[in-house]
Amino acid sequence: MSGQATLRLQKELKAIMKDPVPNITARPSPSSILDWHYVLTGAEGSDYEGGYYHGKIVFPQQYPFKPPSISMITPSGRFQINTRLCLSMSDYHPETWNPMWSVSTILAGLLSFMYDDVATTGSITSTRAEKRRLAQESKATNLKNKVFCKVFPELAADLQQKVEQAQREQAEHDRLAVLEKRKKDSVSEQKTEGSKAKQRRSSLASVLLTLTGLATMGLLLAVMAVPILTLES
């Protein structure tokens, strides 16, 4: 392993720990300082809001004079997973690489590119709804990744709490939805029963009216028949 690459990356790690970049977390793998893992947090108001996107940067032994490879592990709707990304600061374009760039510079550029819709090797297209769905699923997705949990234990614990809280909120939402449906069904049944009762009363009234009409007609006929009987007698 290159001593220069090691010294440079150790220096960058100290810089990141001292002055973290907003929405970016990064640290090397416990087994090799050339293998870094990062997490990009989706900005509020974006299609990636609430998302946590885990990825990997593999630095060459010739770093900082040669660029690293960059890939994303968590599905985002923007990049293919576990695929080298073609970026100006990746090993796809060594001719555009600047040795002054750092881990922070690379990830800030990646995050900015993520919000754009420019196509490149390793990018994909998806709907805004798909990106938002994946953002919400990213927490549970990352927790299933043993490497993520090992490299970012405190973040994994925080995501676990968020997932459990979301599950409790969803359970409460579902409970209230069931109660609301039962209430609506009860009101609907009451209206149906009320309508049936009204129909029964209307039918009964019609029958009574018919019977009353018949009885009245019979009475009139009986009255009219009295003079006739009188005359005949």
From residue 210, how far is each of 199, 205, 214, 216, 218 by CA, in Å? 16, 8, 6, 10, 12
Give the pLDDT score at 116.
95
Percent of the chain surpassing pLDDT 90: 70
pTM of this structure: 0.77
From residue 8, how far is each of 2, 34, 108 by CA, in Å? 10, 10, 18
> Per-residue pLDDT averaged across 132-147, rounded?
97
Give the pLDDT score at 233.
47
Give the pLDDT score at 134.
98
- Kindly report, residue by residue over 47-106, the tens digit of the pLDDT: 999 999 999 999 999 999 999 999 999 999 999 999 999 999 999 999 999 999 999 999
Would the pLDDT of 110 be above 60?
Answer: yes
Question: Of 13, 86, 149, 166, which is the active-site residue?
Answer: 86
Each domain of the chain, given as residue ranges in start order, spans: 3-151
Distance CA 134, CA 48 (A): 8
- Kindly report, residue by residue over 14-24, the tens digit of the pLDDT: 999 999 999 99
Please give the mean pLDDT across all residues of the chain: 90
Domain 3-151 class, CATH top level:
alpha beta
Distance CA 96, CA 86 (A): 12
Active site residue 149: no
